Amino acid sequence: MKKKFIKAENISFKCKEIPLTRRELKNILNYRIPCLCCGMEMLHPDIYTRLLEDKRLCSRSSEAVKVLEPFENIMHPVERQVFNMFKSLSEKYPDKNFQELLLMKKDIHELALVKIQSSIFNKISFYRRILPKKSARALRKLIIRTNDIIFDPEPHKPFSRRIFIHKLKNILKNLENPKMKEDIITIARRLPRSSDEVCAFVVKNARKHPEVIALNLVHPSVGTFEHLQPKCMRGMNNSLNFALECSYCNNSRHHYPLAVQIEENPYMPENAQNQINKLISLCKKNLCKKEYVKNLTATLKELSYDMIDLDISALED
C-alpha cells in the first residue's frame, strides 16, 4: 500500500475563523454522534471520566455488569462479545470479579490465539527462502525467539505485537525489494490485536486489574478530537482541523494521512456522510454551526484527494 503524504502548507481551509470552541465541539458528543471513520456511536468523554471513579467496576462481576449494561449498544464488536461472556459467567459466578472470570477462560483462549499467531509466523518464515542471507538469518532468530515466547505457558515477558512488527521492520529496512517488504509487513499486521479477536482481548486483559478490564470494554467508544491534518505535519490544534472520531479509530490512524486511513477503512466515506447528516440536523436545532460543517466537508475532500466528497445540500434547506 502506497502511503500518500500532504504538505500542510498546501491545505487551504475554507473557513478562516475558528467555527467552534473545544467546549462546543465536545458538547456535540452528547447527541449520539457516529464516528467519522467506523460509524459507531461515540461515548461522551465526561461519562467515561465518571466511570473511572466508579468503585463497582473492581468489585463483584454482578455489580460491574450492571454498571456497564447501559453502554452495551455502543461497545465495539469484540468488546461487546467479551461483555456478553461476562454477563453469562456472572450469572454462575456473581462473586468473582472480571479478572477472575477472564482467568477462568484464559487457557482456552490462549491456545486459540497461539494457533492464529503461529500460522502467521509460518507465512512470514517462508520469505527466508528469498531474502538476502543476512536478513534471512535475522528473521530466523526473531521467529525462534517469538515462538519461544508464545509457546511458553508462563513467559518472562508476554508477546508484544507492536514490538514484533517494530523488530521486523528493522530487519527489512535495507531490503531493496519494496514490494516484498510491504508484503511481509502486511502479513505481520494480521497478528491479532485485542480489538480484533476475543482470544487476544482475553489473554491481554487477564493480567490487568478488574476495573481496567471493565473500562477497556468502553474505552474504544469514547469520542475524541481527531486531527485531520496530523500535528506532526503542522496540523492546527483547533476545530478548523478537528473531526469527531472514536478513540479506537483515532489511535489506529497514528500519524498517517487521511488517504491511508480511508484505504484501511473503505466504508469511511459512507460513515463520514452519516456523521455530516447528523451534524446538519444539529445545525437546524442551533446545536452546531454551519461554518463547522462547511469547513469539515471541504477539508475532508481536500485531504482525501476527493475520496470523501460529502453532500451538504440539506444544510441550506
Give the model confidence (pLDDT) of 11-66 as tens digits: 545 556 899 999 999 999 999 999 999 999 999 999 999 999 999 999 999 999 99
Per-residue pLDDT for 80 more than 70?
yes
Same domain, 96 and 56: yes
* In a domain? residue 201: no
pLDDT at 179 over 60: yes
What does the pLDDT average to over 152-181? 93
Q: Which residues contact 179 (CB under 8 A, 6 or more apart)?
A: none
pLDDT value for 126: 96
105: in domain = no
Is 22 contained in some domain? yes
> Same domain for 280 and 293?
yes
Instruction: Give the pLDDT confidence score for residue 3 in this predicted structure.
Output: 44
Residue 198 lies in a domain: no
Helices and strands: H and E segment counts in the chain: 14, 2
Overall domain count for the chain: 3
Q: Are residues 127 and 258 in the same domain?
A: no
Percent of the chain scored above 90 by pLDDT?
A: 87
130 and 67, same structural domain? no
Which of 177, 199, 219 is the last residue before a domain boundary? 219
Q: What is the pLDDT of residue 8?
A: 41
Amino acid 152: pLDDT: 93
What's the pTM? 0.88
Same domain, 37 and 51: no
Residues 62 and 211 in one domain: yes
| In-domain check, residue 199 | no
Cα–Cα distance for residue pair 19/41, rounded to 1 Å: 23
Q: How far apart are CA 8 and CA 124, in angstroms?
A: 37
Beta strands in the chain (DSSP E): 223-227, 242-246
Instruction: Clarify whether residues 62 and 38 are in a common domain.
Output: no
Query: Is 54 inside a domain boundary?
Result: yes
Position 184 in a domain: yes
Which domain, by its residues, includes 52? Answer: 46-100+207-219
Q: Is residue 197 part of a domain?
A: no
pLDDT at residue 219 in the model? 98
How many C-alpha atoms does 146 have within 13 Å on its Cβ side? 25
